Amino acid sequence: MLSKAVVKYANSLQVKKYRNQHQAFVVEGAKSVLELLQSDFELQHVFVTEEFYQKHAKAFPKSTHYDVVTEQDLIKAGTFSSNNAALAIAHMRRLPELRFQPSDFAIALDDIRDPGNLGTIIRIADWYGISTIVCSDTCADFYNPKTISATMGSFTRVKAYYLDLADWLGAQAKEVAIYGASLEGDNIHRMQLKPQGIVVMGNEANGLRPEVAQRVNRLIKIPAFGKAESLNVATATAIIIDNFMRTAGL
């Protein structure tokens, strides 16, 4: 049984202020915890049900300490309405200095507020082998429980940097191709693209902020064939990145 102190600590990490204060975050569910166990994140606590441990004992590194608890304990400590598998608390990762070369490929996010969208974009980046996402300071938090859950474990392989996006793009603009998603952009289907440069995706409702759009070398769009007003930003990211990656395997 989890102590009240542990439950209180885990619950506090649902709030960004306390995540930053403790430099720690919560990971819930079988898939995400299994990915965490195989990653380079430093673990604080791992709580599992007996059934989960018996099924996945070989996935636990020998040095990993874990506590067997009930499903009800996991629900109290986390955000899921049901969790019959596992919950872990890990230290936030210390990122190396961000260095970007003209031949690199990255996604930049401008004011993406929804943690579910952010998590899905992280998962998309992982699918296409993109290891770096650059976020404006106003984006949703990488370590938000909803973000972590939406990544389905991809948070272990993708690094997210938070900074003044307009300034950073301005510093890259002379040497790096910077593409910005916009309804006023060029038809992406008519462009010869390769996975190099930076693809900038804007806010779910308002698109790119003017100061960010000014740093873009070329605006691009996904052509519409029906009457939908817009696409979800994560869906649009997947379509755009796929167009860039089509030549990668040729």
pLDDT in tens, the chain (250 residues): 799 999 999 999 999 999 999 999 999 999 999 999 999 999 999 999 999 999 999 999 988 999 999 999 999 999 999 999 999 999 999 999 999 999 999 999 999 999 999 999 999 999 999 999 999 999 999 999 999 999 999 999 999 999 999 999 999 988 999 999 999 999 999 999 999 999 999 998 999 999 999 999 999 999 999 999 889 999 999 999 999 998 766 5
Domain span holding position 63: 4-91
Tell whether 175 and 231 lie within a shared domain. yes
Tell whether 80 and 110 lie within a shared domain. no
Q: Does 15 reside within a domain?
A: yes
DSSP letter (8 states) at residue 187: E
Torsion region of 23: left, alpha or beta (phi above 0 gives left; psi -120 to 50 gives alpha) = left
Taking the model in full, what pTM does it have? 0.95
Tell whether 32 and 154 lie within a shared domain. no
What three-state secondary structure class fits 117?
helix
Residue 156 in contact with residue 34, Cβ under 8 Å?
Answer: no
Q: Residue 110 maps to which CATH number?
A: 3.40.1280.10
Please tell me the total count of domains within the chain. 2
Q: Does 250 reside within a domain?
A: no
Tell whether 123 and 226 lie within a shared domain. yes
Per-residue pLDDT, 250: 52
Tell whether 133 and 35 lie within a shared domain. no
Tell whether 146 and 188 lie within a shared domain. yes
Kindly report the number of other CB atoms within 10 A of residue 2's CB atom: 20
Tell whether 152 and 213 lie within a shared domain. yes
Q: If you search the block for the tokens 């693209």, which residue do you land on?
A: 193
Tell whether 187 and 238 lie within a shared domain. yes
Tell whether 122 and 155 lie within a shared domain. yes
Tell whether 121 and 202 lie within a shared domain. yes
What three-state secondary structure class fits 173?
coil
Q: Does 100 reside within a domain?
A: no
